[in-house]
Structure 1
Amino acid sequence: MSTWGKNNPDQSPKKNWTQEEAKGKLETYCAYQERCAWEVRRKLYEKGIQGKPADDLIEEMFRDGFLNEERFAKSFARGKFRLKKWGRARIIRELKLREFSPSHIKTGLSEIDPEEYYDTLLTQAEKKWEKTKEKDPYKKRYLVLQYLVSKGFEQDLIKEALESIQSQE
């Protein structure tokens, strides 16, 4: 818990939104960055709006074009892959957490170029291989493999990349 409120007694604690206030705030929230219905529902819950009123607001956001699940899935997959260097498995897991349908997940993953994906995996594997100080090559391989699995890359591709790296040494 932050002590900010204690140091600033004039500042009121977070207040709940009214239905009218929520629409404007949500439009700003969704216009700032691509959002999905799950994130908007969480935001509404934090601000004291639940059930039918929340569903109505979310439906209205879809109608007005502020929310679009397909657009979000594409943007999410592209961004997490290019910026955070996540693999497909991690992206799928995160989209499932946000309650996306398999068709939207598939659409989102179509944004990732297979060649760029493998090149990124290889680059990540090489970087981790160089940073890992382990002397035993089997332990080192295991540590790099675990790291890449945690990033969401597939085991068969990881093994291929590690064999490629080890054959260069």
Structure 2
Amino acid sequence: MQSEKKLFTFEETKQKLVNYCVYQDRCHAEVEQKMREFVLIPEAKEEILLYLMKENYLNEERFTRSYIRGKFYIKSWGKTKIKIYLKQKGITEKLIAKSFDEIDEGDYVKTIQRLYENYESKLKGLQAYQKKSKTIKYLLSRGFEYEVILQLTEN
């Protein structure tokens, strides 16, 4: 079943997309996905995208930095998982690498240690090596790098 596309004037559509970007930082891919809900000729889409960028409603670097902060400081994701999700949103490798300075290295280490201790303390009835192995797997699933996890768990 084809969902009905909404019919709005060019100005109404532009305002809806401005509101969409103001509510939360967005990347190009998200805005282009949202535009598919509206009946727009390619030229209109292009004009709206240019307007959103010119007026700074749509800013890929701001989006990337905000995404990294949110996923790390709120969701406690590691850099690997964050990078995978940003790449799926069409963000370049270069911009991702440049924006990782949003994460303080000290906070990164503390987060891994906190997650490690919390998770390991919940594992009951296992031998030490089993606990360590399960905890490392858990941290990898959260997107933390194997080398970093090992450095912190060696002691």
Q: What TM-score bracket applies, with the shorter chain setting the length? A: 0.7 to 0.9
Picking from 41, 51, 71, the partner of 1:60 is: 51
Runs of 4+ in 1 over 4 A off after TM superposition: 48-52
The number of residue pairs the alignment matches comes to 152
**Counterparts of residues 1-169 of structure 1 (less than 5 Å):** 15-18=5-8, 19-49=10-40, 51-164=42-155
Indicate the SS of the match to 1:125. helix
Q: Give the structure-2-normalised TM-score.
A: 0.88
Secondary structure, aligned partner of 1:34: coil
AA matched with 1:112: I
Gaps in structure 1 of 5+ consecutive residues = 1-12, 165-169
CA distance in 1, matches of 2:40, 2:116: 45
Instruction: Please give the secondary structure, in 2, of the residue aligned with 1:100.
Output: coil
Aligned-partner residue type, residue 132 of structure 1: L
**Structure 2: which 5+ residue stretches go unaligned?**
none
Q: 1:77-131: per-residue Cα shift (whole Å, max 9, x none)?
A: 1111100001111111111111111221122211111111111111111111111
What TM-score results when the alignment is normalised by the length of structure 1? Answer: 0.81
Pick 1 or 2: higher relative contact order, CA cutoff 8 A, min separation 6.
Answer: 2
Contact residue 44 and residue 50 of structure 1 kept, 8 A: no
CA distance in 2, matches of 1:35, 1:53: 19
More deviation, 70-79/132-141: 132-141
Q: Percent identity?
A: 34
